[in-house]
Structure 1
C-alpha cells in the first residue's frame, strides 16, 4: 500500500477517472449500437454528427485510440450512406 500523501491522492484520482472514462466509453458504445440498428436514413443522418462528435471527444481524451475513432467514423458513415 502507498505511504505518501501524493501516492494516496493519485490512487483516489485514478479511481475517479476510471469510473468517469468507463461511463463515457459505455455511453459511446450504446450510441454506436443505436445508430447501427437505425433503419430510417433521415434519423440515422441526424444521429451521425452527434456520434462522430462523441468519438472525437473520446479520442481527444485518450479513452479510445484516434485510429479506432477514425475507423468507427468511416464505417458508420458508410452504413448511413448505404441505407435506403
Structure 2
C-alpha cells in the first residue's frame, strides 16, 4: 500500500481510469461482436457507422492503439463487403 499522499491519489485516479477504460472497451467489444456475427447486409450497414465511431472514440481516448483501431475498422469493412458479394 502507498504511504505518500500523492501515491494514494494516483492509486485512486488509476482505479477510476481503469473502470472508465473497462466500460469503453466493453462497449467496443460488444459492438464488434454484433457486427461480425450478423449475416444480413442491411443489418451490417445499419451498425457500421456506430461501430466505427466507437472504434475511433476508443482510440482517441487511448484505450486502444490507433493501429489496432485501424485493424478493427478494416475487419469490419471487409466483413460488410463480403456480405455484399
- Does the pair score TM above 0.5? yes
Match of 2:8 in 1: 8
Unaligned stretches of 5+ residues in structure 2: none
Unaligned stretches of 5+ residues in structure 1: none
User: Deviations 1:36-82 (Å, cap 9, x if unpaired)?
Assistant: 01111011011001000101011111100100100110111011011
2:28 equivalent to 1:28: yes
Cα RMSD after superposing both structures? 1.0
Q: Post-superposition, which runs of at least 4 consecutive aligned residues in structure 1 deviate over 3 A?
A: none
Q: TM-score, normalised by structure 2?
A: 0.92
Q: Secondary structure at the match of 1:83?
A: helix
| Aligned-partner Cα distance in 2 for 1:63–1:82 | 29
| 1:1-84 to 2 correspondences below 5 Å | 1-84=1-84
Q: Secondary structure at the match of 1:42?
A: helix
| Aligned-partner Cα distance in 1 for 2:2–2:68 | 35
| Number of residue pairs matched by the alignment | 84
| Aligned-partner Cα distance in 2 for 1:57–1:71 | 15
